[in-house]
Structure 1
């Protein structure tokens, strides 16, 4: 029992307070010689045998995180209290803990911006969509699947929306669903990631990367946890077989070639949404 009281104790967490699973804690003396080595559990907690009184250097490492080092002073009678060690993710910002997250369409938006007449922008949004995010144990292996009802496009003008649903553009009768499947992430900065995936639109599938920003995690009113993301990408409509080109007398293409997609995503932890 005395050994348990005097043993090494602590926890390893992310900046958001999530457990870092299976972190390695290495203890060295002042000469740099390894004295002990411990592994954090699934809950991020560290528990090990007692250390002799003295001053030590503790180095905490985990796959995908920057290492952290600190000084630990152990009295001859007291416990070796490591406290909470906070690790920063290598190559990018902290992301939510591993597991399934369900996109909440009520608190999310999927929109697009296109150039009109080479002068102004036309904005639209899709009113019906669903999706699922799987944060991997190794965040680079995270995945996302999203399905969008192509006919739910809304630009605020019925005549234009009906034309967008026609075979000239989305051809929703033949291709009612737009799908995106992301199969991995790459860190691109302290708060940005690139999602690598494939978009199927108008019956054509093409590689599309998303520029992703993680906005944070917090509790919701139903006792669950929410995570928020912002993502953007640029599409060339010709990649997806949309070649409609109304040429005016002045020689100006009425609809631009490129389309900017903008998404604000809120996801609930778990494989279903809470019942409000």
Structure 2
């Protein structure tokens, strides 16, 4: 306890310039971590781009194989995806190189995310009271777990089903689907990152409830509004098919319900501490 008090006093005595200097070093370390993983991803082109980025565009992708296995067991041949009727082209001279750099950078951010959040937390946590730091113990782990869980959901479930829908959608059989590499990579990255960010909903509710800005009763009262909002967001970040929108909306709704339970638990703890 004495060490914590000393640390809080040292933080309180720091000047504005000292805080800026500290923030600068946190940012530099974060940028360095992203750059390191970006360079590794750039040099691993065959794995990162050939296997990971282009994975959902191939019929032997693990999601398609699992769906086909389920379809065979249920005698539903429609679940077996035997063809993705589209080709990926690069219509700009710098298209492949720019997408190589972009995808490597995004992969670098995703892989380095736990360290990035840890650096952010190291900068923020000294400004919190000791009880607040104890209450938020494990924040780096839970935020990172939800982030990777959302990214995995976007990559293994949302992306392949969305790509399959868009690949098979035709206004007329004479129109061929020839997607530009920029469009393909941008769509994939948007689905993965949007899912990863939206999976942070329980964390947002936790801190809002901890600060007293929301309550479990308020979250319940506005549940219908939240459902409409989640469906609207799902419609914005996903292709215009109902299946993809429902797929992204369902886990977010479950996370919203989990947030209500978290808010209830925090309120119960506050009541017990007040006694």
Question: The TM-score by the shorter chain falls in which range?
Answer: under 0.3
RCO greater where, 1 or 2, for CA within 8 Å and sep 6 or more? 2
TM-score (ref. length: structure 2): 0.22
Greater strand percent: which structure?
1
Please say which structure displays the higher CA radius of gyration. 1
Greater helix percent: which structure?
2
